[in-house]
A and B are shown apart, each in its own frame.
Chain A
């Protein structure tokens, strides 16, 4: 009977994993389809973009055939999909380099910001949410509420500009825009692309401190939004869990209050929180577009904005696909963790 149970568990888990992978594959397919559609409705003639507007009709026609634009739409889509799956996202008009190469160069800067911000969110936001759920209506709860409200209402680019005025222009406490001071540029070998880690590898401590000073403002800013989101979600999950009857059971057993809260209740919140953290990571990628513009941070967001303003469609769609794929990957990972952590989902 119980052996049967274990076999069922395993079978069910395999079944679910296969299902999940199929779902992700379909979603990825749709993602490519949408970017393909977007690429086709663009008012810019892709042929002209390649040959220039002074080309003769013969050259134009030749380029058109070479790009496969005379083929039926569905054939074009499959050609497009094939090349994307081979990592070919086209060539950037702006930098004249393959888009994928460009993205790999700028992405670590964004990742650096997003990871630090997520850490702030997890290590400050979640405890804040727990405390305010436990002591509802207390001073701390009100603070959490204000933090949340501001986080949901303040335009991130505006807050960034205000921070620059105060901490850079007026108080001169922190360095201004950019990832590092100009005279330090190109000294450190980009091994990982993540400046702080590269500095440690190269043992360039001056540059490390300079880079750290530069990252404080944008990372804190993004981290604030992540914290606002996570503390609010944690608070409502905790309130929900603390109402459950198993909490009463734990108290009946004589479990100490801190263990009831941080062990039993938060243990049950951890499962939905994983999804929320994954979501907030996606929101950070999006917030980085504005933050990077404000702080001239040479990451994916700034790259995307520059490409947009220069109508560099290959780069725009390439970045969109990359961000979408990362988002999908993070969600897949959170689904996977969910399955591992929640015995009911196995």
Chain B
């Protein structure tokens, strides 16, 4: 008790004695604020569970997700098959467990490709303004002129169906909004007195953009990217559903829903289970994003 008190006192000190203590205090306050939002914590827990399931898939899944067993086809839920079996007798639970890897793969890759591109284009465009800004923003606008899914479809059509191509297509269509947000934030920040002040200390553009502007853009981008993850999951599943994303027999949730369509009248679990998985993960990202917004972007509420 007294030792936790002491820690708390150290963390909340009005006059921290080191940069580390100052940063720790900040993190602590942010964390405390975040933990108060139960729904956001719930979202975070689901995402943590998703990551663990994906990591330990071989140990969690009772069956091989790809091995067919026609004798056992279209079995309802049971102790042997928690979520039943599909039209060729594969265990749906195992397929969903392995499918979590594909989901993580897609959102991870899209975030790694799209976020840095968006941030760099946005901040550079916003900071320098003028011709650079005009050119970069024209390009961004061209990409924004297509509805996302349609452009992704066109790219998939050109590159051929498949999960890698779906990732590329989604990434290409995801960065423009990030660039827009980063640019907007940069323009507001750039005109702030503290940027003038650091310019007067003799700092060059690279130091200003990376050390002063980006850290301030990043919090609103993290919120946006987290919320977008939900959309990316839905888009990837949609591509899978149309037969343009991951190809059978790989256990991608959208593709599983698509094959289950033929059996919806009598074998409801074929579409219900993968659909629920998509919904739960996407909901988790939405809840986490909303919670992060309240912590990182205090101006939006209250």
A residues in contact (CB < 8 Å) with B: 23, 26-28, 30-31, 33-35, 38-39, 41-43, 149-150, 152-158, 161-162, 164-165, 169, 236, 239, 282-283, 285-286, 289-290, 293, 304-305, 308-309, 311, 313, 316-317, 319-320, 323-324, 327-328, 331
B138 x A158 contact (CB < 8 A): no
B149 x A286 contact (CB < 8 A): yes
Known interface pairs A30-B142, A324-B145. Does A304 touch B153 (Cβ–Cβ under 8 Å)?
yes
11 A-B pairs, CB-CB below 8 angstroms? A35-B154, A38-B155, A153-B282, A154-B279, A157-B241, A157-B254, A158-B278, A286-B150, A323-B147, A323-B150, A327-B147
Whether B234 sits at the interface, judged by CB under 8 Å, is yes
A290 x B154 contact (CB < 8 A): no
Find B230's partner among A38, A153, A164, A316 (CB 8 Å cutoff): A153
Contacts of B146 in A (CB 8 A): 31, 34, 320, 323-324, 327
Whether B129 sits at the interface, judged by CB under 8 Å, is no
Q: Which of B47-55, B109-117, B203-211, B263-271 binds A?
A: B263-271
CB-contacts of B231-268 with A (<8 A): 231, 234, 237-238, 241-244, 254, 257, 261, 264-265, 268
Known interface pairs A155-B254, A158-B275. Does A324 touch B150 (Cβ–Cβ under 8 Å)?
yes
B145 x A30 contact (CB < 8 A): yes
Find A153's partner among B254, B271, B283 (CB 8 Å cutoff): B283
B-side interface mostly = helix
A34 x B271 contact (CB < 8 A): no
Find B287's partner among A38, A41, A43, A149 (CB 8 Å cutoff): A149
Closest 8 CB pairs of A and B: A30-B142, A158-B275, A286-B147, A153-B283, A286-B149, A153-B282, A38-B158, A320-B154
How many whole Å from A163's CB to the nearest CB in chain B?
Answer: 11
CB-based nearest B residue for A149 = B286
Contacts of A319 in B (CB 8 A): 150
A27 x B275 contact (CB < 8 A): no
Contacts of B264 in A (CB 8 A): 161, 164-165, 169
A164 to B268 Cα, complex, angstroms: 11
Contacts of B275 in A (CB 8 A): 155, 158, 161-162
Contacts of A327 in B (CB 8 A): 145-147
CB-based nearest B residue for A39 = B158
B145 x A155 contact (CB < 8 A): no
B residues in contact (CB < 8 Å) with A: 138-139, 141-143, 145-151, 153-160, 227, 230-231, 234, 237-238, 241-244, 254, 257, 261, 264-265, 268, 271-272, 275, 278-279, 282-283, 286-287, 300-301
How many whole Å from B38's CB to the nearest CB in chain A?
Answer: 14
A327 to B257 Cα, complex, angstroms: 30
Known interface pairs A31-B146, A320-B146. Does A43 touch B160 (Cβ–Cβ under 8 Å)?
yes
A152 x B286 contact (CB < 8 A): yes
B147 x A282 contact (CB < 8 A): yes
How many whole Å from A169's CB to the nearest CB in chain B?
Answer: 5
B158 x A42 contact (CB < 8 A): yes
Known interface pairs A27-B138, A320-B151, A327-B146. Does A152 touch B241 (Cβ–Cβ under 8 Å)?
no
Known interface pairs A158-B275, A324-B146. Does A30 touch B257 (Cβ–Cβ under 8 Å)?
no
Contacts of A289 in B (CB 8 A): 149-150, 153, 238, 242
CB-based nearest B residue for A164 = B264
Find A308's partner among B244, B268, B272 (CB 8 Å cutoff): B244
Contacts of A323 in B (CB 8 A): 146-147, 150
Contacts of B283 in A (CB 8 A): 149-150, 153
CB-based nearest B residue for A151 = B286
How many whole Å from B133's CB to the nearest CB in chain A?
Answer: 13
A157 x B257 contact (CB < 8 A): yes
A304 to B234 Cα, complex, angstroms: 19
A152 x B278 contact (CB < 8 A): no
Extra 12 A-B pairs, beta carbons < 8 Å, given A158-B271, A316-B153: A149-B286, A154-B279, A155-B237, A157-B257, A158-B279, A161-B264, A165-B264, A286-B148, A286-B150, A308-B153, A308-B242, A309-B243
A45 to B148 Cα, complex, angstroms: 27
